[in-house]
Structure 1
Amino acid sequence: MLTIAISTLGAAPAPEQVDLLIRGGTVYTGSAEPFVGDVAVTGDRIRLVTHRADVHAKQVIDASGMVVAPGFIDPHTHAGAMLASDDAQERLILPFLMQGVTTAFVGNDGGGDLDVAGVLGRAAAKPVGINYATYVGLGPIRKSVIGEADRKPTTDELARMKGLVAKAMCEGALGLSTGLFYAPQSFAGREEVVALAREAGSRGGTYDSHIRDESSYSIGLKAAIEEAIDVGRQAQMPVHIAHIKALGVDVQGQANTIIGIVEAARAQGQMVTADQYPWSASGTSLAASLVPRWAQDGGRVALLRRFDDGALADRLRTDMVENLRKRGGAGALLVTAGRHKGATLAKIAEAHSGDAITAAIAVIREDDPGVASFNQSEQDIAAFMKRPWVMTGSDASTGHPRVYGSFARKYAKYVVADKVLTLRDFIERSSALTADTFGLDGRGHLRAGAFADIVVFDPRRYRERATYDAPTLLADGVRSVIVNGVVVVDGGKPIGRAAGRALAHKPTGRCA
């Protein structure tokens, strides 16, 4: 009998098996020119990024005509309450996922919880839809040691505050966040801030600051930017300026001056970056917008007493009238929460004989609602946005459409409509720049070995739907979102999977 031996020598190897294949989209890697190709995923990591992946996949996403990009990273949010919610649906953070945001920072504006280990540890018991990292904040640090008084810390108090920063850094905080515009953080002098920042900087942290004045409330925008840079210089650490802007009629048009200050520091080798939300209205509270800082010494109880103090009435009114002028008048403040939600201060004032200050005090007595404050010029917004060190952020806070629409709006308005940025600029400043700036290893890029955080969106449809009148409408145009290798949005619809992780910063330096 004739036996025929069939050799397998030279036969093509069997295609590799992968879990997910995103096929035929226009791929933006975060660091290279786009190309039409494939992204393959195995487990929680990207296996291949190539023009044509010869693989067998358990699941295939047809991305023809779509943009495939790294999952977006939001460096400035107020999503901590959503992430900690007892409601599993709320913890999915759909307002972010439906824009392609897969990672967010919390604890901004100096609000970061002292218990960093607890904040990061919650995800194990309460699964979340996105990745997150946290700062420790000057606000809780100062309140826990000094309270809400306008005074300097004693030597012992400063030592205790420094210890709280060190502990938080060793538990995984990104760095120290401050909100120097807000009482009682506004009562902290530069020397105090530098001392605390050094504790974070010596452990590899970043100094993130809502600067002392974005307008002309106290030291002025220019001096506040210089203060933030000086804190970083003295503390020998990177500086990140929160939601960079020129706020109010007194400083509109100063963007180029501020850009010059930042770029001079960068030219000298200092690491200075910023984030920006793509809206002309900021979001804050009515009291923060109008009430002078001296009147907030001691907190809300002390403020309400001052409202009733006839001896202070003229001074308080004079200062509030001036702050209202800086904000552009009563018609430029839109209440976004509470009983007066949807009304401008001008409208509310109609019930108070047209007196906006009397109306404001009456509203603050009831509560201190959030407001959208229309106070920026498009020229300044565009000038900041064009700088390569300015990344996309939302400053996501309740009642403002920036929670549901910031990344989508930046694309629709500033890439497509106004052509301030290219699509590649938008993607890289919404992902890779943020990841690289803050040392999020393995995120922000599409490349082999990176974590599989990916967004697939339709460039013809991607846009915000949220407005100031209807701020909770989900964005349109996102086809698929992958978080740590798990498909969490498929065919434009969330599918209820919580695949996010807490991202602890790895401290350097001394930790007990």
Structure 2
Amino acid sequence: MVDRTKRGPFRGHGPYALAALILGSPGGPGVADRLAAQAAPEVPAAPDTVLFMNATIIDGTGASRFVGDLLIEAGRIAGLGPPGSVTAPASVERRDLTGLVLAPGFIDIHNHSTSRLFDSPLAITQLAQGITTIVVGADGSSPWPISDYLERIDDLRPAVDVATLVGHGTVRAAVLGESFRRTATDAEIVDMTVRVERGMREGAFGLSSGLEYDPGFYSSTGELIALARAAARHGGFYMSHMRDEEEGLLEAVDEAIRIGREAELPVQISHIKAGNASVWGKAPDVLERIRRANEEGLDVTADQYPYAAWQSGLAIVVRSRMFSNPDSVAKGIAAAGGGSRLQIVGFDAEPGLNGLRLDEIARIKDMTEVEAYMWIMENGGSGLIGHTMNESDVDTFMASPWVMTASDGGVRSAHPRGAGTFPRVLGHFARDRGVLTLERAVARATSMPARRLGLTDRGVLRAGARADLTIFDPERVIDRSTFDYGTRQATGIESVWLGGVETWSAGEPTGARPGRALRRMR
């Protein structure tokens, strides 16, 4: 793999540094995680036998809630039905869940805890959201080799199950090296295809791309179709951070759908959004394209985090990549709506500026916004939270049957989505504002991602399914993380179970680490 993390203005903007930008600086919750990681994990706890009684059951299918009992035994759901209808041994542990919702464990199909799990295996901010399974390797950047990473996860035994995708950017960098700023040759595409095939054989669930980032930025549609066909041969899907979420949004959606059509595999559009004012109000047009594709017989869905701001690298503002050209920089800042919408994070050269907007930094440094941008890029670049989205578009995507929930964050994320995504959908959007029903909010976090991944053992509460459970208080569940304090722990998630082992209870991790690596087999 080519090391792109220390190359002038691109520092921190290649796919290999993307996770670091998204995760932000250490600190906040995670101290207990790091301490736990210093000792070898104990033998995972055996699954418990528990009868949950009088729970408000939301089964993940989107069906209406009902009050009932659920029995778990040997890591599976052994019984489910109305109160008093589930047979259980007299000695079994009983928990009365009156007033609480019992749902399947949440599946985060776009998570960036790839490396942070190894010093934070308890994944506290993830458990506090009700997450039981995470998928890493999105945005074109994945661990490599896939088999080595999954073996390390098995050895680690974190508090969540972990799956991965194989990254287009990762294999492209391995083949093209430093000469990635061009179209790949036929021979190079064949080489990349072989690597994707290898990743899929080793257990990856699909192919991801990050087409706004290097080196994926320079790839042709034909290259992506060829690699997606390789993933399709192993039953995988194609997940894309598209080429453009702003001025070229609709064309980018068309390209993603074309790749799915020609490669004959399902498509997942990452963190769907209308990214700046040039495309505000275009959410219905995006969803109409997805609807037509599904009507045509394709399988196209998307995921979304519930905030009106995105996070990436500062470089993404200047799409021409001409970071030292004042006109190009000015155009990019204007398209974002001005420096007041651009919040700097992860600026190592002068950490005291982290959290400030570009216009504030310009005033402090007695510069124009263009000069301040160029100065940051010349000094290693930074991460960026872009406050450029429209709440109405967020609501439109939230209400769509084609869109599921995903954080695009992870352990110790600088963006509040890393600690707050799932409770925010349940609390702010479902309970407080009624943008969607609570049943639909749960389905977005459970059966929808399970279906996309092809996981038939989780995502729905039914007899025989794996006992991955999230129990929450529908009146209290809410996110507490903010753009100033991104790692504040969510509240209202009462208990989390992974394979019949309780990992979260009353606002604290139990210390149990029953997680394992998931491998797609075909």
Does the alignment reach a TM-score above 0.5?
Answer: yes
Which residue does 1:131 correspond to in 2? 161
Cα distance per residue 1:304-363 (max 9 Å; x no partner): xxx4xxxxxxxx211111111111110111123231211111110113334112111222
SS class of match (1:258): helix
For residues 467 and 331 of structure 2, the distance between their equivalents in structure 1, rounded to whole angstroms, comes to 51
Which residue does 2:122 correspond to in 1? 92
Q: Check conservation: 2:271, 2:305, Cα contact below 8 A.
A: yes
C-alpha deviation, 1:123, in angstroms: 2.1
For residues 40 and 434 of structure 1, the distance between their equivalents in structure 2, rounded to whole angstroms, comes to 24
For residues 483 and 469 of structure 1, the distance between their equivalents in structure 2, rounded to whole angstroms, comes to 31
Q: Check conservation: 2:79, 2:87, Cα contact below 8 A.
A: no
Cα distance per residue 1:241-293 (max 9 Å; x no partner): 001111011111101111111111110110000000000000111122x2334
Cα distance per residue 1:43-63 (max 9 Å; x no partner): 211111111223135433321
SS class of match (1:158): helix
C-alpha deviation, 1:491, in angstroms: 2.5
SS class of match (1:504): coil
Taking structure 2 as the reference length, what is the TM-score of the superposition? 0.87
CA gap 1:144/1:22 in 2 versus in 1, 3 angstroms? same
For residues 434 and 514 of structure 2, the distance between their equivalents in structure 1, rounded to whole angstroms, comes to 34
Cα distance per residue 1:371-409 (max 9 Å; x no partner): 210111111111111111100011005310100000111
Q: Does 1:54 align with 2:87?
A: yes
Select which of 459, 468, 473 maps to 1:453. 468
Cα distance per residue 1:148-172 (max 9 Å; x no partner): 4311222322111110000001111
Select which of 67, 82, 95 maps to 1:36. 67
Q: Check conservation: 1:456, 1:480, Cα contact below 8 A.
A: yes
Select which of 234, 248, 251 maps to 1:203. 234
SS class of match (2:495): strand
Select which of 94, 101, 104 maps to 1:70. 104
CA gap 1:275/1:325 in 2 versus in 1, 3 angstroms? same
Q: Check conservation: 1:481, 1:490, Cα contact below 8 A.
A: yes
Q: Check conservation: 1:77, 1:108, Cα contact below 8 A.
A: yes
Q: How does 1:115-126 map to 2 (within 5 A)?
A: 115-126=145-156
Which residue does 2:330 correspond to in 1? 321
Please identify runs of 4+ aligned residues in structure 1 that moved more than 6 A: none
C-alpha deviation, 1:364, in angstroms: 2.2
Select which of 369, 378, 382 maps to 2:395. 382
For residues 421 and 380 of structure 2, the distance between their equivalents in structure 1, rounded to whole angstroms, comes to 27
Which residue does 1:355 correspond to in 2? 368
For residues 255 and 327 of structure 1, the distance between their equivalents in structure 2, rounded to whole angstroms, comes to 18
Q: Check conservation: 2:329, 2:373, Cα contact below 8 A.
A: no
Amino acid at match of 1:77: N
Q: How does 1:238-387 map to 2 (within 5 A)?
A: 238-288=266-316, 290-295=317-322, 307=324, 316-338=325-347, 339=351, 340-387=353-400
SS class of match (1:257): helix
Q: Does 1:428 align with 2:456?
A: no
C-alpha deviation, 1:504, in angstroms: 0.6
Q: Check conservation: 2:55, 2:96, Cα contact below 8 A.
A: yes
Amino acid at match of 1:60: R
Q: Check conservation: 1:335, 1:345, Cα contact below 8 A.
A: yes
For residues 476 and 269 of structure 1, the distance between their equivalents in structure 2, rounded to whole angstroms, comes to 41
Amino acid at match of 1:348: I
Q: Check conservation: 2:48, 2:501, Cα contact below 8 A.
A: no
SS class of match (1:482): strand
SS class of match (2:497): strand
Q: Which runs of 5+ in 1 are unaligned?
A: 1-16, 296-302, 308-315, 508-512
CA gap 1:196/1:132 in 2 versus in 1, 3 angstroms? same
Select which of 106, 115, 118 maps to 1:81. 115
SS class of match (1:91): coil
Select which of 50, 53, 64 maps to 1:20. 50
Q: Check conservation: 2:480, 2:491, Cα contact below 8 A.
A: yes
Amino acid at match of 1:170: R
CA gap 1:18/1:108 in 2 versus in 1, 3 angstroms? closer
Q: Does 1:180 align with 2:206?
A: no
Q: Which runs of 5+ in 2 are unaligned?
A: 1-46
SS class of match (2:231): helix
Q: Check conservation: 1:183, 1:293, Cα contact below 8 A.
A: no
For residues 383 and 98 of structure 1, the distance between their equivalents in structure 2, rounded to whole angstroms, comes to 27
For residues 128 and 311 of structure 2, the distance between their equivalents in structure 1, rounded to whole angstroms, comes to 22
Q: Check conservation: 1:176, 1:200, Cα contact below 8 A.
A: yes
Q: Check conservation: 1:121, 1:502, Cα contact below 8 A.
A: yes
SS class of match (1:147): helix
RMSD value, Cα: 1.5
- Structure number with greater CO (CA < 8 Å, separation at least 6) is 2
C-alpha deviation, 1:482, in angstroms: 0.3
Q: How does 1:442-481 map to 2 (within 5 A)?
A: 442-481=457-496
Whichever of the two has the greater Rg, that structure is 1
Taking structure 1 as the reference length, what is the TM-score of the superposition? 0.88
Amino acid at match of 2:391: E
For residues 106 and 275 of structure 1, the distance between their equivalents in structure 2, rounded to whole angstroms, comes to 14
Q: Check conservation: 1:177, 1:209, Cα contact below 8 A.
A: yes
